[in-house]
Amino acid sequence: MNIAVSPSAEGASARAQVQWGRRWESELGLTDHAELSEFFRKSYGPTGAFNAQPFQGSRSWAGARPELRVIGHDARGVAAHLGLLRRFIKVGGVDLLVAELGLYAVRPDLEGLGISHAMRVMYPILQDLGVPFGFGTVRSALEKHMTRLVERQGLATLMHGIRVRSTQPDVYPNLSPTRIEDVVVVVFPVGSSISEWPAGTVIDRNGPEL
Using pLDDT thresholds of 50, 70 and 90, give the confidence band for residue 99. very high
Asked if residue 146 is part of any domain, the answer here is yes
Asked if residue 65 is part of any domain, the answer here is yes
Asked if residue 70 is part of any domain, the answer here is yes
Q: Which of 154, 174, 176 is nearest to 166 (CA)?
A: 176
Whole-structure pTM value: 0.87
Asked if residue 46 is part of any domain, the answer here is yes
User: CATH number of the domain that 147 lies in?
Assistant: 3.40.630.30
Domain count, the chain: 1
Asked if residue 9 is part of any domain, the answer here is no
E strands within the chain? 19-24, 68-74, 77-91, 94-106, 133-138, 157-167, 178-189, 202-204
* Lowest mean per-residue pLDDT among 8-12, 47-51, 162-166: 8-12
Reply yes or no on whether the pLDDT at 181 is more than 90. Answer: yes
Q: What is the mean pLDDT of the segment spanning 97-101?
A: 97
Residue 173 domain boundaries: 19-204
Asked if residue 153 is part of any domain, the answer here is yes
Instruction: Tell me which of 196 and 13 has the higher pLDDT.
Output: 196
Asked if residue 5 is part of any domain, the answer here is no
151-164 residue pLDDT tens: 666 778 899 999 99
Asked if residue 14 is part of any domain, the answer here is no
